[in-house]
Amino acid sequence: DAGITQSPRHKVTETGTPVTLRCHQTENHRYMYWYRQDPGHGLRLIHYSYGVKDTDKGEVSDGYSVSRSKTEDFLLTLESATSSQTSVYFCAISETGLRDGTEAFFGQGTRLTVV
Amino acid sequence: GDSVTQMEGPVTLSEEAFLTINCTYTATGYPSLFWYVQYPGEGLQLLLKATKADDKGSNKGFEATYRKETTSFHLEKGSVQVSDSAVYFCALSKPGNGGYNKLIFGAGTRLAVHP
């Protein structure tokens, strides 16, 4: 199994509070991704990183920011959590940036509830 | 834009039944196609993939053939087991803006297999 650890695994937070989710990898893969999973939508890309300090937005990036100061860590921050951000968040990594049919490896997910 | 459509679930089958989960895609160019599986409480893991037209991906008794003429990648298994109960995601990968590939997922299909 790819060495991907997400923390925390579960979190309940109040509306308006900041929240940071962490993804840590031991595979030394260059590319890292944050997805959210919601019923009826599958997984949607929030942000991704193609190297240290290099990040870009995905399709549902509003209300989220990311940082990558080290190869192994990719942080997702909800600046001011809203109920619409209640979801399961998955981190994924790729060695090649998904080129040439290569796969992404996923963490176990973080279930976030905003009350 | 690019998208993946898969049949809605849940799909409920008896053990040893034949399984088909339909998946069609819309994309320009030549995407790679994937089936990912998510077992309860876990992250996604690659089940099988195909990178060009007429390729057949197979794993653990599951098969899917990349049909460019019908833009489809249907998942099949001849005899399902209780342990196959999971959520199955069809996905495509192709270059996005900036030259980096991205995964685009379908909504997922939940499969429940009963003894």
| pLDDT tens track for A68-97 | 999 999 999 999 999 999 999 999 999 988
* Neighbour count for residue A44 (Cβ, 10 Å): 17
Chain B residue with Cα closest to A1 = B45
> How near does any CA of chain B get to the CA of A33, in Å?
9
pLDDT < 70 stretches in chain A: 1-2
Interface of B with A (CB under 8 A): 4, 32, 34, 36, 41-46, 49-51, 89, 91, 93, 95, 98, 100-103, 105-108
Mean pLDDT value of segment B7-31: 94
| pLDDT tens track for B42-82 | 899 999 999 999 999 999 999 999 999 999 999 999 999 99
Contact B89 A104 (CB under 8 A): no
Over pLDDT 90: what percentage of chain B? 82
> How near does any CA of chain A get to the CA of B59, in Å?
14
Predicted confidence at residue B75, as pLDDT, reads 98
Sole residue written with tokens 């008896």? B14
* Neighbour count for residue B1 (Cβ, 10 Å): 7
Contact B74, B6 (CB under 8 A): no
| pLDDT tens track for B32-43 | 999 999 999 889
Mean pLDDT value of segment B75-97: 93
Predicted confidence at residue B96, as pLDDT, reads 73
What whole-number distance in Å separates Cα of residue B87 and Cα of residue B109? 5
pLDDT band at B99 (very low <50, low <70, confident <90, very high): low
Contact A56 B45 (CB under 8 A): no
Contact B89 A42 (CB under 8 A): yes
Predicted confidence at residue A1, as pLDDT, reads 59
Over pLDDT 70: what percentage of chain B? 97
Name the residue with higher pLDDT: A94 or B95: A94
Predicted confidence at residue A82, as pLDDT, reads 97
